[in-house]
Amino acid sequence: MNRIISIVKKDLAQVFRNRFVVVISLMVIVVFAIIYNFLPSDVNETIELGFYLEIDEAMAEEYGLSGGRDEIKERFEEAGGEEAQEGIGLVWADTLENLERMVEDEEVSAGISLDLSGQEPDLVLFVSSKAPDEIIDASEAITSELGYALIGYELPADFEATVIGPDMVGQQVPMRDRLRVMLLAFIFILELYGLGNLLVEEIQHKTAEALLVTPVTLQDFISAKAVTGIVIAFTQGLLLAFLIQAMSVDTWLAIVVLLLLGAAMTVGLAFIIGAVSRDFMSMVMISFIPFVILLIPSLVLLDPSLSSPILKAIPTYYLVVPLNGILNYQMALSDYLAYLLYLVLFTAVFFVLGFAILRRRLA
C-alpha cells in the first residue's frame, strides 16, 4: 500500500509540476463553464410554418375567408388557442415556388399550401427531406388542424400525428442544459490523453522498468496509475459540475457516483490506449477514433434525431443517459441501476484488457 501511495504522490506532483498540463486542464474547465453560462436558459418552442393560399373571390366568400391573411390567422388562433399563438409562427409565401424555396432553404420548418380555387380544397404539406421525423409529424398534425379550422371539415388527406419517444411538449430542455451533459462527458474523454500519457511516459522513458526492479509489482504500478487517474479525472469533472450548476441538493450524490464511475471507466480505457502507444503522438493518433466514438452519445442529446440503437454499444452511453435523466428530467439514480451495472462492467473489461496488454508490453 505504501508503494502505491508513493507512486500516486509522485504522479500527482509530476502532473502539477507540468504547468502546460495544469493550464490546459483548467482552461478547458473554465471555457466549458463560460460556454454553458453564456447560452440562453430558455427554449424557443415556436415552429415556423410557411403558408401559401390560392383562393378566388367566390370560394373565399363560401368559406368565410374573405378577410384574407388576417382572417386565416385569426381562424387559426381561434382553433389552436393560446398555445398555438405562442408555439407556431406563420410565414406567408407569395407564390407556390416561394413556399417550396423557403422549405428547401430551411427558413421554415414546413410549408403548407391551401388551394381553394377549384371544386375541392387542396391542401399540400411541404417538408424538407432533411427534417427530423418529429418535425414532419408535428407539421402533419398542425396541417390537419389548420385545414379543419379554415374550411370547416377535416380534409381527406391521411394526416397522422405520432409522438415518438417521451412527449416533451411543455418540458423541452434548453440547449445549454443538454450541453452540460456533453461537457461533463467531454471532460472525461479529454482526460484519455492525460491519463494515457501518464503510462506512455513511464514506458517510453523506461521508468516503469526501473520501478519493476524494486519491490513494486505490476499490480502496484497499475493500481497507483488507476488511483492517480481517477483522482485527476474525478476532480476535473467535479469542478466542472459545480461551475455548470450540475450539483444541486437533490442531484449531488447521484452526480458524484456517476462522475466516479465515469472517471474509472476513462482510466480503464486510457490504460489500453497508453499500453498500445509508443509515444504521445502515437497515442493521440490511436485514441482519435475512440475519442470520436465516445463522444457520439452526448452529441445525440443535442440532436435526438440522430438517436440509434447502436449507441448502446458505446460505453459513454451508460454515463450520458443517467446524467441527462438526473440533470434534466428529475430522475433518480435508482432509475438507472442497469446503466450503472454496464458502466462497472465496461470499466472492469477495460482494466483487465489494459493490464494484460501492459504486462505483455513491459515483458
Partner 1 sequence: MDPEATLKAENLLYSYGDILAVDHISFHIGQGEILGFLGPNGAGKTTTLKMLVGLLVPQEGTVAILGKDIVKDKGEIQAQIGACFEEKSLYEDMSAAANLRFFASLFGIKDLDTAGLLRRVGLPDDRKDRVANYSKGMKQRLMVARALVNQPKVLFLDEPTDGLDPVSSEAIRSVIMEEKADGATVFLTTHDMMEADKLSDRVVFLSDGNIAACDSPDNLKHQYGKRILKMRYHKDGELIEEELPLEDRQAGRRIQEILADYDVLDMHTEEATLEDIFIQLTGKKLE
Query: Which residues contact partner 1 (rule: CB under 8 A)?
Result: 2-3, 6-7, 10, 13-14, 17-18, 205-207, 209-217, 362-363
Report, in Å, the least distance between residue 350 CB and partner 1. Answer: 25
- Which CB, 3 or 73, lies closer to partner 1? 3
Q: Which helix (H) or strand (E) holds 126?
A: strand 122-127
Report, in Å, the least distance between residue 11 CB and partner 1. Answer: 10
Report, in Å, the least distance between residue 212 CB and partner 1. Answer: 6
Side chain identity at residue 252, one-letter code: W
Q: Show the DSSP H helices in 112-247 as ranges.
A: 133-151, 175-204, 207-211, 218-243
Q: Show the DSSP H helices in 39-157 as ranges.
A: 57-63, 68-87, 96-104, 133-151
In sequence order, the 6+-apart residues with CB closer than 8 A to the CB of 172 are: 43, 45
- Dig out the grid coordinates for 200 from the structure: 506512455
- Which CB, 172 or 207, lies closer to partner 1? 207
- Which CB, 181 or 275, lies closer to partner 1? 275
Half-sphere exposure (Cβ direction) of 244: Cα atoms closer than 13 Å: 31
- Which CB, 137 or 202, lies closer to partner 1? 202
- Dig out the grid coordinates for 160 from the structure: 397522422
- Dig out the grid coordinates for 95 from the structure: 407564390
Report, in Å, the least distance between residue 217 CB and partner 1. Answer: 7
Q: CA-CA distances (angstroms) from residue 332 to 42, 53, 329? A: 24, 50, 9
- Which CB, 217 or 248, lies closer to partner 1? 217
For residue 113, report the phi and psi dihedrals to the nearest 5 degrees. -115, 125
Report, in Å, the least distance between residue 109 CB and partner 1. Answer: 56
Report, in Å, the least distance between residue 202 CB and partner 1. Answer: 9
> Do residues 96 and 174 touch, judged by C-beta distance below 8 A?
no
- According to DSSP, the residues that pair with 111 across neighbouring strands are 50, 126
**Residue 142: which of 108, 102, 95, 116 has the closest Cα?**
108
**Residue 290: which of 308, 267, 309, 315 has the closest Cα?**
315
- Which CB, 37 or 219, lies closer to partner 1? 219
- Which CB, 3 or 101, lies closer to partner 1? 3
- Which CB, 10 or 73, lies closer to partner 1? 10
Report, in Å, the least distance between residue 209 CB and partner 1. Answer: 6
Report, in Å, the least distance between residue 24 CB and partner 1. Answer: 16
Side chain identity at residue 156, one-letter code: P
